[in-house]
């Protein structure tokens, strides 16, 4: 129990949890009329996402729990940002749901409950990076008063993310199915 408490209450996890706290405010800022707040929260989230892993490694705080917390917090933060955009018709409405579904599939497929580390895929990693882009474009555009990239580009990117997320989820499901039936696991 002491090891778990130490793992939960680390500096790196505090950085990670700051994104979880910021998520609802980010949603509000994107749906309301608070573009400067949206830009500030977005770039603070990016900074803490970059810093938390570096801090964990530098301080010897890396753990399976911290990795899962980082990914869960990212999924929730971007899903809230994408939900805000979907409420405005800026991205397909299914995208935030798919982001959360892909994360749940990722955790279950990785068998995190068995104490193993998370098992990523190349497409899943790229999706995880690009999920930040539509809310980042909108937040940054609003914060600095730009009109580019256009709303059409944001919607196209959202549509492409729907397609790539479905492809990633299908590949992961196929690999899990073949792993059960054929006795070999593969990483899509």
Tens digit of pLDDT for each residue in 43-77?
A: 999 999 999 999 999 999 988 889 889 999 999 99
- Report d(CA 3, CA 161) in Å as an integer: 38
Give the domain extent around 70. 2-180
Q: Is position 45 within any domain?
A: yes
In a domain, 187, yes or no: no
Could you tell me the CATH number of the domain that includes residue 57?
Answer: 1.20.120.1760
- The number of distinct structural domains making up the chain is 1
For 103, residues 6+ apart whose C-beta sits below 8 A from its C-beta are 71, 72, 75
Q: Whole-prediction pTM value?
A: 0.87
Token duo for residue 107: 């955790």
Q: Render pLDDT for 90-136 as a digit per residue (tens, 0 to 9).
A: 999 999 999 999 999 988 877 654 555 556 788 999 999 999 999 99
188: in domain: no
Does residue 89 form part of some domain? yes
């Amino acid at each position: 129990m002491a090891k778990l408490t130490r793992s939960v209450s680390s500096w790196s996890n505090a950085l990670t949890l700051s994104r979880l706290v910021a998520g609802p405010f980010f949603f509000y800022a994107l749906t309301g009329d608070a573009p400067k707040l949206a830009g500030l929260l977005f770039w603070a989230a990016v900074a803490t996402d970059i810093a938390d892993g570096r801090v964990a490694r530098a301080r010897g705080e890396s753990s399976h729990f911290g990795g899962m917390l980082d990914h869960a917090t990212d999924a929730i933060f971007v899903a809230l940002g994408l939900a805000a955009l979907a409420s405005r018709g800026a991205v397909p409405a299914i995208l935030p749901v798919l982001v959360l579904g892909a994360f749940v599939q990722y955790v279950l497929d990785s068998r995190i409950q068995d104490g193993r580390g998370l098992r990523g895929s190349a497409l899943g990693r790229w999706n995880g990076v690009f999920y930040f882009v539509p809310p980042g474009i909108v937040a940054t555009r609003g914060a600095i008063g730009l009109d580019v990239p256009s709303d059409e580009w944001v919607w196209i990117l959202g549509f492409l993310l729907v397609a790539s997320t479905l492809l990633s989820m299908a590949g992961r499901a196929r690999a899990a199915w073949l792993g059960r039936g054929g006795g070999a696991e593969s990483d899509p």
